[in-house]
Structure 1
Amino acid sequence: MTLVLVTGGTGHLGRDIVDRLVIAGHRVRIFARLPGSRTDVEWAVGDLATGDGLREALHGVDTIINAATHSPIARRGGFRPVDFVWSPSAVDVTGTERLLSLAREQSVRHFLHVSIVGLDEATLPYARAKLAGERLVRGSTLPWSVVRAMPFYYLLDKLLSGMAWLPAWPVPTTVFNPVDTSDVADYIVTCAFDGAHGARADIGGPDALSLTELARQYQRARGLRRKILPMSLSETKARGMGFVVCNGVRGTLSWSDWLLRQYVDARVAA
């Protein structure tokens, strides 16, 4: 039975990945700072940022899915001025480098790294850290795969919920196609065991919509009435902020259906 180590296995995407691995019959070991409550996986306690516990966590591992990241913007659900000048790199760069080094020592057979679509033109410090970590993987002598995904629906939800108190929302008209973690998890698990390596096709959501339309759909689902002020961004600025359209693999769950599950169905059930 294949033993798979998942970093970031307690996050939104990580939980979906772990669920699919368990259903597929793989042994799963989650590397996390604290053990969780589920009993159908192994827990390896440690910290990717410091390396504590990592060597022990890799013992006997065949495949690594590196879904760990540290994005202050995602954690708080909004931007602060510091996000435009600095982002921590201990997990995404130093942690990835350490993980690759120890994986080589353990002769890991496949290292799958989760990344973000559009990093080559993105200018935010977090994106630059993600790109630096990805380049370490691409330069590794290990058999590797890189899967780039569009931003996730739950992150867009957090960003828009942070604007709910505003009477008017300034929103770019830029088009992009965010994606649900469930679709990304399906694709990642497929890539982990299909026998191929290298840079994989990017994955995004099924619909490319303007941010203003995404915001309108969000307001309808939440029952909010806020004026939307469309903002025009140049293509260069939009790409610098990560607003691109993924033309690779497309997920199946739309933003409108995701919102229906999160808000409309939840209200009915209550």
Structure 2
Amino acid sequence: MKIVVVGGTGLIGSQTIEFLRDAGHDAVAAAPSTGVDTLTGQGVDEALAGADVVVDVSNSPSFADDDVLRFFTTSTRTLLDAEARAGVRHHVALSIVGADRTPDSGYLRAKVAQEQLIRESVAGWSIVRATQFFEFAGRIADGATVDGRVRIPPVAFQPVASVDVARTVAEVAAGEPRGGVVELAGPERLRFDEFVRAALAARGDERDVVADPAAPYFGAVLAEGSLVPAGEHRRGAVTAGDFAAAQRPA
């Protein structure tokens, strides 16, 4: 099958392409760097010509509320319209576990809006919701740092490795449209602040991590179950210990 991966040059997209090619598929990356712009539509029809499946793992360059909503709704409409013209039979999108349970977050509201557009499309579709990636621990800490201290809400947290996300996205893309959601989380349920503290320590980052129930995440104050699956879900193979060991300086 020809499978076009939008956002295929990024962390998840590049690994997804590797898994798909290893499985014998013709996997192609589509991104601004390859001449494909899903906001303007430039290069989209050409990229989707002959495609059987489109995988969207792209992300907004700006996380401001209006910008991120515009990105996900505009790019999704662009893709779905182009897929209808090209006869694409399966649209796969990567979303976030708990997005529909955190309405105070502009970013997560935008992901819910993206999911709704996909659900309303006429073509076959599948949505993969994943928890936060191990690889984003440093970025999360940077965004939560106030006066040199990292303030993280002490809620349940079940992070997952990007390789496990990419493997799942590739598997779903190679299968039949599900018309539903697959949820993926890491193998262990931790506490958000404890995970960030351990991840920073493994990197030699000496910032103090403070458990702060009022600390916002993507603009929202989190409830205990905001970031973890509420029911049946798949579990990745990479543990927090595995990831931390790989990050320790030689």
Of the three residues 52, 55, 66, the one matched with 2:56 is: 66
> When the two structures are superposed, what TM-score results if normalisation uses the length of structure 2?
0.88
CA 1:226–1:88 in 2, change beyond 3 Å: closer, same or farther? closer
Contact 2:153–2:214 (CA under 8 A) maintained in structure 1: yes
Contact 1:5–1:31 (CA under 8 A) maintained in structure 2: yes
State the match for 2:95 in structure 1: 115
State the match for 1:209 in structure 2: 190
CA 1:179–1:158 in 2, change beyond 3 Å: closer, same or farther? same
User: 1:179, 1:24 → 2: CA distance?
Assistant: 23
State the match for 2:236 in structure 1: 251
Cα displacement string for residues 6-63 of structure 1 (whole angstroms, at most 9, x for unaligned residues): 101011111110111111111122111123xxxxxxxxx2201111111111110111
Q: Which runs of 5+ in 2 are unaligned?
A: none
User: 1:163, 1:120 → 2: CA distance?
Assistant: 22
1:230 aligns with 2:211: yes
**Greater mean alpha carbon deviation, residues 147-156 or residues 12-21:** 147-156
Contact 2:101–2:226 (CA under 8 A) maintained in structure 1: no
Contact 2:145–2:151 (CA under 8 A) maintained in structure 1: no
> When the two structures are superposed, what TM-score results if normalisation uses the length of structure 1?
0.82
1:160 Cα deviation after fit: 2.1
Q: Secondary structure at the match of 2:244?
A: helix
Q: How many residues align?
A: 243
1:132 aligns with 2:113: yes
User: 1:200, 1:161 → 2: CA distance?
Assistant: 31
User: 1:259, 1:183 → 2: CA distance?
Assistant: 16
1:209 Cα deviation after fit: 0.9
The within-5 A match list for 1:89-238 is: 89-122=69-102, 123-161=104-142, 167-233=148-214, 237-238=221-222
User: 2:119, 2:195 → 1: CA distance?
Assistant: 34
1:27 aligns with 2:26: yes
Cα displacement string for residues 43-97 of structure 1 (whole angstroms, at most 9, x for unaligned residues): xx22011111111111101111111121535xxxxxxxxx4x5443343111101
Q: Which amino acid aligns with 2:222?
A: A
Contact 2:90–2:176 (CA under 8 A) maintained in structure 1: no
CA 1:163–1:124 in 2, change beyond 3 Å: closer, same or farther? closer
State the match for 1:15 in structure 2: 14
Identity %: 29
1:166 Cα deviation after fit: 5.5
User: 2:135, 2:200 → 1: CA distance?
Assistant: 15
User: 2:243, 2:9 → 1: CA distance?
Assistant: 21
User: 1:165, 1:131 → 2: CA distance?
Assistant: 29
State the match for 1:52 in structure 2: 42
Cα displacement string for residues 73-127 of structure 1 (whole angstroms, at most 9, x for unaligned residues): 5xxxxxxxxx4x5443343111101110111121112111111111112221111
User: 2:244, 2:181 → 1: CA distance?
Assistant: 28
Q: Which runs of 5+ in 1 are unaligned?
A: 36-44, 74-82
CA 1:166–1:252 in 2, change beyond 3 Å: closer, same or farther? farther
CA RMSD of aligned residues (A): 2.4
Q: Which amino acid aligns with 1:24?
A: A
1:171 Cα deviation after fit: 2.3
